[in-house]
Each structure stands twice: as C-alpha cells, then as structure tokens.
Amino acid sequence: MRMHVEPSILDELAIVDEDLSDDWRQRAECARYAGLVDFFPARGESAREAKAICAACPVQRECLDYALQSKAAYGVWGGLTERERHRMNRDRRRTERRVRL
Ligand code: SF4
C-alpha cells in the first residue's frame, strides 16, 4: 500500500533556504505534524487543521513575516492562507497610500 505524505512548511523552507540552523524555524510547531497535517491544501479544501496548529505555534509572527517578505504563493504560513495573506498585503498597501495623501 502506498502512503500519501503531505509536504510540510519546513520542506518548502528547506527548498528555499538550506541553512535551517539557529533560527525561528527550529521552533516551528508544524514540524511535529509533518506528514500528518496538510499545510498546502488545494483550493476548496479545509485549512482549519493547519491553522489550529499555527495558532499554538511560538513563531507564528516570524513565519508570517517570512511568508509576506518572500511572497509565498501557496500554503498556510503564520496561520494565514495564501488568499488571506494576499488580502492582508492589499489592505496594507491601501492604508499606506491613504497615509501618504
Ligand atoms: S506558524 Fe504555522 S506554518 Fe508557521 S512555523 Fe508555525 S506551525 Fe508552521
């Protein structure tokens, strides 16, 4: 029987940056759920389980900052889906424009 193993956020990070030593990624809560919880749900699939794990993660802020800076296109990062991050970025840009006026 072939078992489907879900990729974790850390798998994605390892592709982006192979130096995982001594930083926030060492404390990522999702590492404990690798292969068990899908942090990259397909469109229409629930992200609820992944978001619940993020809610208890001690490095949620750092993870979200990383995802926003690196423009992570897929997955749940820092407790937000790609659509929610996109919305957050859009709202920030609008606020910045209003402040400049
Ligand atoms: S916030 Fe979520 S995705 Fe980010 S490191 Fe923590 S558990 Fe993983």
Which single residue is written with the structure tokens 């929610």? 84
Question: Among 60, 65, 69, 81, which residue has the most ligand 1 atoms within 8 Å of its CB, making it the best to mutate?
Answer: 60
- Amino acid at the residue 5: V
CA of 83 to the centre of ligand 1 (A): 16
Q: Is 4 left (phi over 0), alpha (psi -120 to 50) or beta?
A: beta
Q: Which two three-digit tokens encode residue 93?
A: 């840009």
pLDDT (tens digit, 9 = 90+) per residue, 1-58? 444 556 566 666 655 555 555 589 999 999 999 999 999 999 899 999 999 999 999 9
d(CA 40, CA 22): 25
Extents of the domains making up the chain: 9-100
pLDDT (tens digit, 9 = 90+) per residue, 58-79? 999 999 999 999 999 999 999 9
Is the minimum distance from the CB of 40 to ligand 1 under 6 angstroms? no
Whether pTM > 0.75 for this model: the answer is: yes
Q: Which two three-digit tokens encode residue 60?
A: 């949620």
52 burial class (0-12, 13-18, 19+ CB within 10 angstroms)?
exposed
